[in-house]
Amino acid sequence: MAKKQFAYIRVDVFAKKPFGGNPLAVFPDARGLTTKDMQLLAKEMNLSETTFVLPARRGSGADARVRIFTPDMEIPYAGHPTIGTFFVLANEGKIRLRDGVTIAKMEAGAGVLPVEIHSSGGAVRRVVTVQQRPEFGDEFKDIGLLAEALSVKRKDFDMRRAPPQLVSTGLPWLIVPLRNRRVIENITVNTVAFEKVIDRLPKNVVDVYATSLDPINRKATTHSRAFFLSSGSVIEDPATGSASGCLGAYLVNRRLIDVNRRTRIVNEQGHAVNRPSMITIDVGTSSEGTIESVRVGGTAVEIMRGIASF
């Protein structure tokens, strides 16, 4: 019986050189793969996400349909898979580029979303994903439990100015501001308490984003770490586009930084797992201060190519 063979490309997203940022596997032509195949391949890749590119459905107006899988499930949207996928599609000639900014459209579970590809001389310089307008959920009130889950102290929270809060710009995250970078660096996850935190959140929300306005890089605004629950274990993500969009919206909404009509935030992540990354966030606001747009961008670098044969 003939084997199925599908090409994939591995890239590191939010990195300018290999072995930084967040790794991603992209299957640029997933025609012929079933949903079960995709889930098994994502589990085999064992990365935070793997993407599968299909022709856009008729009437969607999109350039490509992208299905995004973690090792455990399909998800409607994520930032670094979007950026890495369109970096690959552009480099493979599947998106026709123009010098400057090319606007492509991605059909995903979260809807049809624009993606900006910045290029010059045919080379991709940066990819920006335009996320949904933010939705602000409940504040997380049980600080004792959250402190236990992250192995930090109650005094490391600023409940008056910056309480933990659920935010979504396509994928919901619990944004957890902490006092300074040292607190962030010293986080050690207590899995039992972390699972209890997740149990208090809405269904299918498994993600916690710890952050501080105390970066290492002088060009950065924030220093962050991302944690999510997968198959009963807590995983740290080295670079997280969806969480960065939520973070930018949170900071602007609460006026924790200087806010302009277009506010630029540079978020550093991944240092704790030796995969440093830099993520740019642009939050657009109206003259009345309402958030109108959230853009998250970064670079990517190809690391390897292969064939899945099964």
Closest CA to 149 of 107, 188, 116, 117: 188
- Residue 234: count other Cβ atoms within 10 Å of its Cβ: 17
| pLDDT tens per residue across span 215-255 | 999 999 999 999 998 778 899 999 999 999 999 999 999 99
Q: What CA–CA distance (Å, rounded) separates 26 from 103?
A: 20
Q: What CA–CA distance (Å, rounded) separates 185 from 271?
A: 9
**Domains along the chain with CATH numbers:** 5-131+299-309 (3.10.310.10), 135-297 (3.10.310.10)
251: part of which helix (H) or strand (E)? helix 241-253
Residues 6+ apart with CB under 8 A from 56: 62, 63, 64, 65, 105, 107
Q: What CA–CA distance (Å, rounded) separates 234 from 69?
A: 17
Q: What is the dihedral of CA 52, 53, 55, 61, to 10 degrees?
A: 110
**Mean pLDDT of the chain, nearest integer:** 95
Q: Tell me, yes or no, if 49 is annotated catalytic.
A: yes
Tokens, residue 161: 């100015």
Residue 1 has pLDDT above 80, yes or no: no
pTM of model > 0.85: yes
- Residue 236: count other Cβ atoms within 10 Å of its Cβ: 17
Letter for the amino acid at 253?
N
Q: Which one is catalytic: 49, 148, 185, 288?
A: 49
| pLDDT tens per residue across span 131-177 | 989 999 999 999 999 999 999 999 999 999 999 999 999 889 999 99
Helix, strand, coil % over all residues of the chain, rounded to 5: 20, 40, 35
Q: Is the dihedral of CA 25, 242, 286, 278 positive or negative?
A: negative
Q: What CA–CA distance (Å, rounded) separates 75 from 294?
A: 20
Letter for the amino acid at 46?
N
Tokens, residue 83: 């950026």
